[in-house]
Amino acid sequence: MPDEYRLILKHIDAPGYAPDIDTYLRHDGYADLKKALALPPITLPAGAVLDGPARIRNEVRLSGLRGRGGAGFPAGTKWSFIDHKTTKPIYLICNADESEPGTFKDRQIIHKDPHQLLEGMIIACYANDVHLAYIYIRGEFIPGARLLQRALDEARAHHFLGPNILGSGYNLEIHIHRGAGAYICGEETGLIESLEGKRPYPRIKPPYYPAVLGLYGCPTIVNNVETLCAVKHVVAMGGAAYAQLGTPTDPGTRIVCVSGHVRKPGYFEIQIGQVTLGQLVSDFAGGLRDGRKLKAIIPGGSSAKILRAGEKYKLKTKRPDGREIEREVALLDLPYDAESLSAAGSMCGSAAVIVLDDSADMVSVLANISEFYAHESCGQCTPCREGSLWMSKALARLARGQGRQQDADYLLHIANNISGGRTICAFGEACAWPVQSTVAKFKDEFTG
Ligand SMILES: Cc1cc2nc3c(=O)[nH]c(=O)nc-3n(C[C@H](O)[C@H](O)[C@H](O)COP(=O)(O)O)c2cc1C
Ligand code: SF4
Atom of ligand 2 nearest to the CA of 378: 8
When comparing pLDDT for 290 and 320, which is higher? 290
Model confidence band, residue 322 (pLDDT cutoffs 50, 70, 90): confident
Q: Tell me the CA–centroid distance for residue 177 and ligand 1, in Å.
A: 16
Whether the CB of 381 sits within 6 Å of ligand 2? yes
**3-state SS of the chain?**
CCCCCCCCCCCCCCCCCCCCHHHHHHCCCCHHHHHHHHCCCEECCCCCEECHHHHHHHHHHHHCCECCCCCCCEHHHHHHCCCCCCCCCCEEEEEECCCCCCCCCHHHHHHHCHHHHHHHHHHHHHHCCCCEEEEEECCCCHHHHHHHHHHHHHHHHCCCCECCHHHCCCCEEEEEEECCCCHHHHCHHHHHHHHCCCCCCCCCCCCCCHHHHCHHHCCEEEEEHHHHHHHHHHHHHCHHHHHCCEECCEECEEEEEEEECCCCCEEEEEECCCCEHHHHHHHHCCCCCCCCCEEEEECCCCCCCCEECCCEEEEEEECCCCCEEEEEEEHHHCECCHHHHHHCCCCCCCCEEEEEECCCCHHHHHHHHHHHHHHHCCCCCHHHHHHHHHHHHHHHHHHCCCCCCCHHHHHHHHHHHHCCCCCCCCHHHHHHHHHHHHHHHCHHHHHC
pLDDT surpassing 90 at residue 316: no
pLDDT surpassing 80 at residue 448: no
pLDDT in tens, 179-223: 988 999 999 999 999 999 999 999 999 999 999 999 999 999 999
**Percent of the chain residues topping a pLDDT of 70:** 100
pLDDT surpassing 80 at residue 301: yes
Mean pLDDT along residues 146-165: 98
The residue to mutate among 100, 372, 377, having the most atoms of ligand 2 within 8 angstroms of its beta carbon, is 377
| Nearest Cα residue to atom 8 of ligand 2 | 378
Whether the CB of 422 sits within 6 Å of ligand 2? no
Q: What is the predicted pLDDT for the residue at 291?
A: 96
**Percent of the chain residues topping a pLDDT of 90:** 95
Whether the CB of 186 sits within 6 Å of ligand 2? no
Model confidence band, residue 88 (pLDDT cutoffs 50, 70, 90): very high
Whether the CB of 310 sits within 6 Å of ligand 2? no
| Nearest Cα residue to atom 23 of ligand 1 | 223
Which domains are seen in the chain, by residue range? 21-244 (3.40.50.11540), 251-357 (3.10.20.600), 362-447 (1.20.1440.230)
pLDDT in tens, 388-435: 999 999 999 999 999 999 999 999 999 999 999 999 999 999 999 999
pLDDT in tens, 323-364: 888 999 999 999 999 999 999 999 999 999 999 999 999 999
Mean pLDDT along residues 353-378: 98
Ligand with minimal distance to 383 CA: 2
Entry pTM: 0.97
pLDDT surpassing 80 at residue 46: yes
Atom of ligand 1 nearest to the CA of 72: 27
Whether the CB of 117 sits within 6 Å of ligand 2? no
